[in-house]
Amino acid sequence: MHSLAQEIRSFSRANLRKQRTRVTTLTGRRIVETWRGACLHMEEEEEAAPGGGFVQDLSADLQVGVVKPWLLLGSQDAAHDLETMRKHKVT
């Protein structure tokens, strides 16, 4: 079994899978980001996204994270939802 120190020493960037990230701006422009060596390379795609670069999400975000038993982290949607507050015993 390898130790963490051995894993770190044997790490090689060459073994990482190549990654491309597609970014869509608010105006609908699409940019593809890739790493070449130690530099970030960005190129713009030909087609712009129709109707802008984002999708409005009107669904309620009721997820609550328990940081400590007495400290919860959530959105204002969760804070306004009585069932969510009862489930987490918030008084």
Torsion angles phi and psi, residue 7, rounded to 5: -60, -45
Chain CA centroid to CA 6, Å: 30
This prediction has a pTM of 0.41
User: Cβ(31)–Cβ(42) under 8 Å?
Assistant: yes
* Domain limits, the chain: 4-44, 59-90
Burial of 78 (0-12, 13-18, 19+ CB in 10 A): buried
User: What 3-state class would DSSP assign to 83?
Assistant: helix
Read off the pLDDT of residues 23-79 as tens digits, 9 standing for 90 and up. 888 777 889 999 887 888 999 887 665 666 666 778 999 999 999 989 999 999 999
